[in-house]
Amino acid sequence: MTALVRAEHLGSLLRPRELLEYPNVASEQTKRQQLEDDEITKVIEKQLDLGFASITDGEYRRSLFWGSFFEGLEGFDQVPFDEKVLRTYFPSIKALLESGYRPGGSLLCTGKIKHPGTNSSHRREFEALKRLVPTEDIPKIKLTIPAPSWYHMRFKHGQAYLPGVYPSDKEYFADLAVVYQTELRDLYDAGLRRVQIDDPQLSYFCSDEITESWRNDPIDKAQDPDELLDGYIQWYNQCLSQVPPDMHIGIHICRGNFTDGRYWSSGGYDQIASKLFKYLNVNTYYLEYDSPRAGGFEPLGDLPLDKNAILGVVTTKSAELEAIEELRERVLGAATVIAKGNNVSVEEGLQRLGVSPQCGFASHCREDRLTREEMWAKLQLVRTLADSIWPGEA
């Protein structure tokens, strides 16, 4: 298995103004791609200079963190936006609707799902990044990919695919699992060894407010959230069933960068941690711990010693730099919980941990709550924190 990284970041980085302002139209694609290459080269150099052992392209070739992978699959098409079929009590959808924004369409499963071959958006991004990374650093590349459930869970029960396409979720899950198996094998064959799955919706199972709305919804109450979580874990494992042992798979259980508490998924990981840690077949869990609303470290007592947790203790929601001694104490506290849960020493508990910002810096390309200088200061803090706890380790 690819080694755990002590100082991590969650993939997306703030774009420079030049890239944001450059036209994204067909006639300018060659020049735009060159500009993307130039700016990605700069952030690669910066990540390496800061001593990060996993590097990304900052998601500079995407407008949103989940990219365009699903759009490239057979069986998904844009349909007119219809909020009646969406789980509008989910924070991400609620924020969209309350902002007054109505997208022109939604991506929906309209036919049998199939993989597009060797030209997926992930493969193109990875190949483009490989060309810009020093050969000896290619094993450090980390690619972020959307959760398989991303377009399933957004829709109300039974609304994720058109009538007649699939008889039940079981068949939908099976076809999409084959897609993920194919995609991960293709990326592995191309040289990728680090994958981060971004799943903002798993944290919704932590929230009593959300699950109560779920159980009171006229349509969704037909499907118990606890049962769906169990189904998702089985589905994930099906998607990951053919991953080679030296490909590192991490999952970011994201709570988002919303600073407005109305759009937060509050609640500790207690409600999902035991199931995820014991039964979800990933190597590392990226957990957001920058706010008391995410609960305490107690759920880490269930983390087995053959898995890891990256603690997102440095916030991306504000520019203020956290006190490093306070951060150290928090990490040591988390290690103590792991040690107690596994009946090992605190030092052994520490071996299961790394640190990171709580989330990416740019879930969408226009994110700007921090400046780029403030972003790099946050990442330097993460590196310094890791060095103070695990000196000499990447």
147 belongs to a structural domain:
yes
Pick from 15, 2, 16, 14: which is nearest to 54 by CA?
Answer: 2
User: Would residue 12 count as lying in a domain?
Assistant: no
> Does residue 385 lie within any of the structural domains?
yes
Task: Tell me whether residue 11 is in a domain.
Answer: no
Give the model confidence (pLDDT) of 69-84 as tens digits: 999 999 999 999 898 9
pLDDT given for residue 167 in this prediction: 96
Q: Phi and psi (nearest 5°) for 150?
A: -55, -50
Contact 191, 135 (CB under 8 A): no
The answer to the question of residue 4 being in a domain is no
Report DSSP state, residue 5. Answer: P
Distance CA 286, CA 139 (A): 20
**CB neighbours of residue 203 within 10 Å:** 25
The CATH number assigned to the domain holding 276 equals: 3.20.20.210
Cβ burial of 8 (10 Å; 0-12, 13-18, 19+) is buried
E strands, the chain, where?
A: 74-80, 105-114, 142-146, 194-199, 248-253, 284-288, 308-314, 353-357
Q: What is the pLDDT of residue 2?
A: 57
Provide φ and ψ at 32, rounded to 5°: -65, -40
**Residues constituting the chain:** 394
Quickly count: other Cβ atoms within 10 Å of residue 64's Cβ. 13
pLDDT of residue 264: 59
* 270-287 per-position pLDDT tens digit: 889 999 999 999 999 999
CA 81 to chain centre: 25
- Closest Cα partner for 47 from 10, 20, 16? 10
The answer to whether position 10 is within a domain reads no
Q: What is the pLDDT of residue 132?
A: 97
Distance between start and end Cα atoms, the chain:
16
pTM across the whole model: 0.95
The Cβ of residue 205 has, within 10 Å, a number of other Cβ atoms equal to: 23
- The number of distinct structural domains making up the chain is 1
Q: Give residue 217's domain range.
A: 17-389
Contact 317, 367 (CB under 8 A): no
Amino acid at 373: E
**Structural domain contains residue 145:** yes
Does any domain span residue 91? Answer: yes
Low-confidence stretches of the chain (pLDDT < 50) are 1
